[in-house]
Amino acid sequence: MQLAREVFHRDAALARRYVELARRIAMRYNVRFPKKWKRFFCKSCGSFLVPGVNLRVRCTKQRVVMTCLECGRVRRIPYVREKKARRDAELKGEEEVQEGAAP
């Protein structure tokens, strides 16, 4: 993936080929890609994604919407971890308030 990132601005087809090879090797040996790498390529057309060049990223209240500008595939990633952390912090704050009011 690092090679694809370095080569992308010079030759997008070569970057796509690097992604294709990496995916093929990972599938052959049943190895998972780390999350940070999964977001760098389109599962539909196999192109290496660079925000602002061939990827549109939009943030809404509930999710991040990533659109591949090569094939038009839309990927939605929810804010699960952030919401859970905020909810836990709110619950912790409510418990402290209830404990203070009890005596």
Instruction: List, for residues 37-86, the tens digit of each pLDDT value.
Output: 888 899 999 999 999 999 999 998 889 999 999 999 999 988 877 777 87
Cβ–Cβ under 8 Å, residues 73 and 45: yes
| pLDDT tens figures, 24-37 | 999 999 999 888 88
- Six-digit token string for 59: 């943030």
Which uninterrupted H or E stretch holds 101? helix 80-101
pLDDT of residue 49: 93
The confidence band for 98, taking pLDDT boundaries of 50, 70 and 90, is low
pLDDT of residue 61: 85
Average pLDDT along the chain: 87
Cβ–Cβ under 8 Å, residues 47 and 13: no
